[in-house]
A and B are shown apart, each in its own frame.
Chain A
Amino acid sequence: EVQLVESGGGLVQPGGSLRLSCAASTFSFSSFWMSWVRQAPGKGLEWVANINHDGSERYYVDSVKGRFTISRDNAKSSLYLQMNSLRAEDTAVYYCATYSTISRSGYFDCWGQGTLVTVSS
């Protein structure tokens, strides 16, 4: 069974930085695309970023481009999200998820329990 455990969330001031981690276990981590998806309080789901198997391809939603960086360490079976220049609107629960690919498409398959990021002064 796939297990994903996020960590690193917390309270940060506007303009600050935070690094989220996602530890994967019991599956072949390096075989999967990985994703970050967030949910702001009382709002819907929003895809944030994706990374391919070896980290050579990365995609971001426009609202985080230039501020967030997704990365991975396959040797440690870990996914990361470096978040800089944080804004109040980045406040959300952040989920890591596997992205299962089918042909040229895919879906968010297995999810972690989420970690809360609060951006406030």
Chain B
Amino acid sequence: DIQMTQSPSSLSASVGDRVTITCRASQSINSYLNWYQKKPGKAPKVLIYAASSLRSGVPSRFSGSGSGTDFTLTISSLQPEDFATYYCQQSDSTPWTFGQGTKVEIK
């Protein structure tokens, strides 16, 4: 199985900050990497698919990059509604696996 490792596991940031979350795959997954936002009691929401494609309706402050084994999710200017947990997920091969999550908290 492909292991997905996110860093950091949590971070504290202020509104307006630039936030970067990294995700590393245990083997190459080409660009088959997706990012999700999860808030307590709510369904997950896809933000980025295929490493860098912004899902329709998602604010442009979210962006993704990377290929192979190393990927990044960037929030250019953190907004109050962005405080949540973020997960990467590989869709290169089954079982599709998620990272352990990165919790973004208010500083």
CA distance A50 to B45 in the complex (A): 18
- The reply to whether A45 and B38 form a contact with Cβ atoms under 8 Å apart is yes
- Measured as residues with beta carbon below 8 angstroms from the partner, the interface class of chain B is 20 to 34
Residues in B neighbouring A59, C-beta threshold 8 A: 94-95
Chain B residues 69-93 with CB under 8 Å of chain A are: 87, 89, 91-92
- The reply to whether A108 and B100 form a contact with Cβ atoms under 8 Å apart is no
- The reply to whether A95 and B91 form a contact with Cβ atoms under 8 Å apart is no
- The reply to whether A105 and B98 form a contact with Cβ atoms under 8 Å apart is no
- The reply to whether B46 and A95 form a contact with Cβ atoms under 8 Å apart is no
Given A44-B101, A45-B36, A108-B89, A114 contacting B43 (CB threshold 8 A): yes
Residues in A neighbouring B36, C-beta threshold 8 A: 45, 108
Residues in A neighbouring B38, C-beta threshold 8 A: 39, 45
Determine if A32 is an interface residue (Cβ-Cβ < 8 Å). Answer: no
20 contacts between A and B (CB under 8 A): A37-B44, A39-B38, A44-B101, A45-B38, A45-B87, A45-B89, A46-B98, A47-B97, A50-B94, A59-B95, A62-B1, A62-B95, A107-B34, A107-B46, A108-B34, A108-B44, A109-B46, A109-B55, A111-B44, A113-B43
